[in-house]
Amino acid sequence: MRYAFYPGCSLESSAKEYRASTVLVARSLGIELEEIPGWICCGSTPGHMSDKLVGIALPAHTLAAAAKMGTEGVLVSCASCYSRLRAANHAVRASEAVANQVALALGERYAGDVPVYHMLEIVAKAAEAPDFEERIKRRLKGLKVASYYGCLLVRPPDITGFDDQEDPQSLDRVVAALGAEPIAWRHKVECCGAALAFTHADVALKLSGEILEDAKSSGADAVVVACPLCQSNLDLRQRNIERFLGIDLEVPVIYFTQLVGLAFGYSAGQLGLGKHMVNPVPLLKRRGIHV
Amino acid sequence: MTHAGSGHEEVGVTDFLEEVESQTGEKVRICYQCGKCSAGCPVGYVMDLLPNQVIRLIQLGLRQEVLDSSTIWLCASCETCATRCPREIEIVRVMDYLRQQARLGGHTHAAREVPIFIHSFLANLKRFGRLYEPMLVGMYNLASGHLTKDMDKAPAMIIKRKLALLPSRAKGLHRMRQILKNIEEMRRR
């Protein structure tokens, strides 16, 4: 299986460990990732806030480049990029007028026909296959995790649609397949406020704080995520959240690809576990998982 | 025609309602004010108008009140409202249009930081083709006057090599610039 890989901007810097772990897990699953040549930023939330056409044309450019690669489709690890790429496909297919405007902006026509998959979709499907069990070298027994989906992976369902929008299960199933225990909690699809982290930090700190507090009080050792913006909001800003809310958290926030990579036998160094602000390694050791 | 008790009342169609509907493709007029959008909105607690109130004011044609509200800037585009709306109104698309109109008309006093953030973000894309996070922080902080914002995270990020110290100029940079230029020209026409 060969996919056109769209890393997105975060995976180039603040989420390097997400990229490294995505690449390793893909390799183990026999998935070939070929980076889309000349990819550009999808515009993220500021793109569609600034102008409807900017929000569609930027991801459409990258999709048009991917169309020329002749792969299974685009594979993306960031939930925000995923949402924008799929929204562009949706918009171009839904309206001839929009497709024409996009063609004018890009200088080429894009038909909206390149499938876009989030890495979680691919891993969740792989985890259902009978040979998945054989790949596990290190069972994550005893580790309790809160599966956090956030917003754009599951909403709105007519754009994303690979899992339930209110009570998704795909990540919980992956976690369980690794031998870890997915806990029941209430904040799995609540917004972390990443879009407001710059401009209204108090709001972002409150929303992220509530997510971490719920995970912790529901018995989770760690939160597992599938988005670099969620990760940085929950981990990089965790000290600010603790100060803002006057609470102690110390909750590691781990990419799901890192968790899968651990189970597949990769080392903490290979998976970039040391890059998180709340270091997950002591927790893993406490649970008898030697990395 | 309206029958008392029929449960179906025609809302008088205002110019602003027509404008929002034609520009967004969303049928704002069919909102029956169930309030589900506001009940689920994670940011509702700091908004001056709740999302359902914004929709109602659009129906009533109160352009100024809507564009002056803090709500359009506080909306985090989380899509909870749109996902739950029984009338299937894509409220984020409506909010996007309102934000664009507010920026064009200079109605940004309710939350001046968000337009500055949008501007800094897009300026970054024009410069590099991809987002270069340190430059985004720098540009935003300078333009907004919040000079020390997020500076506390820089040392640990540098030690953990989570910051790209130099921007990676996208091979597609010239394409990014061309696309943004094409759209600006289309907008001027």
With CA atoms as reference, report the closest residue to A53 among B97, B123, B125: B97
Band the pLDDT of B5: cuts 50, 70, 90.
very low
Residue written as tokens 């949402």?
Answer: A83
Crossing angle of helices B113-128 and B173-188, rounded to 10°:
130
Domain assignment of residue A214, given as a range? 137-286
With CA atoms as reference, report the closest residue to B77 among B116, B118, B122, B130: B118
DSSP string, chain B: ---TTSS--PPP--HHHHHHHHHH---GGG-----HHHHH-TTGGG-SS-HHHHHHHHHTT-HHHHHT-SHHHH-----HHHHH-TT---HHHHHHHHHHHHHHTT--TT-THHHHHHHHHHHHHHHHSS--HHHHHHHHHHHHS-TTTTGGGHHHHHHTT-S-SS----TTHHHHHHHHHHHHHHHH-
DSSP string, A233-266: IIIITHHHHHHHHT------EEEHHHHHHHHTT-
> Tokens in use for B57?
């004011």
Q: Residue B2: its pLDDT value, please?
A: 39
Q: Are A5 and A34 in contact (CB under 8 A)?
A: yes
Between residues 131 and 170 of chain B, which touch chain A (CB distance below 8 Å)?
131-133, 140, 144, 149-150, 152-153, 156-157, 160-164, 168, 170
Domain final position from A57, A91, A119: A119
Give per-residue pLDDT as tens, B123-165. 999 999 999 988 899 999 999 999 888 989 888 888 888 887 7
Is A59 inside any structural domain?
yes
CB contact under 8 A, A207 and B152: no
A55 & A187 share domain: no
Is A128 inside any structural domain?
no
Q: Are A92 and B169 in contact (CB under 8 A)?
A: no
Q: Are A149 and A168 in contact (CB under 8 A)?
A: yes
pTM for this prediction:
0.94
Between CA B98 and CA B23 the distance in angstroms is 10
Residue written as tokens 């879009």?
Answer: A195
Band the pLDDT of B1: cuts 50, 70, 90.
very low
Residue B10 has pLDDT above 70, yes or no: no
A172 & A50 share domain: no
Give the one of A9, A201, A277 whose C-beta lies nearest to B130's C-beta.
Answer: A9
Is A10 inside any structural domain?
yes
A113 & A173 share domain: no
- The fraction of chain A above a pLDDT of 70, given in percent, is 100
Give per-residue pLDDT as tens, B81-101. 999 999 999 999 999 999 999
A150 & A77 share domain: no
A114 & A141 share domain: no
Taking CB atoms and an 8 Å cutoff, what residues of chain B touch A205? none
C-alpha separations of A54 from A10, A27, A105, B39, B62 in Å: 19, 34, 9, 31, 27
Q: Residue A50: its pLDDT value, please?
A: 94
Q: Are A11 and A78 in contact (CB under 8 A)?
A: yes
Which amino acid is present at A151? C
Between CA B143 and CA B147 the distance in angstroms is 9
Band the pLDDT of B110: cuts 50, 70, 90.
confident
CB contact under 8 A, A104 and B133: no
Between residues 101 and 140 of chain A, which touch chain B (CB distance below 8 Å)?
101, 104-107
A75 & A194 share domain: no
Taking CB atoms and an 8 Å cutoff, what residues of chain A touch B186? 53, 101, 104-105
Domains of chain B by residue range:
15-104, 113-188
Between CA B49 and CA B72 the distance in angstroms is 9
Is A182 inside any structural domain?
yes
> Tokens in use for B154?
């820089």
Is A241 inside any structural domain?
yes
Q: Residue B3: its pLDDT value, please?
A: 42
Domain final position from A93, A119, A145: A119
A74 & A149 share domain: no
A34 & A141 share domain: no
Regions in chain A scoring below 50 on pLDDT: none
User: How does the average pLDDT of chain B come out, rounded?
Assistant: 91
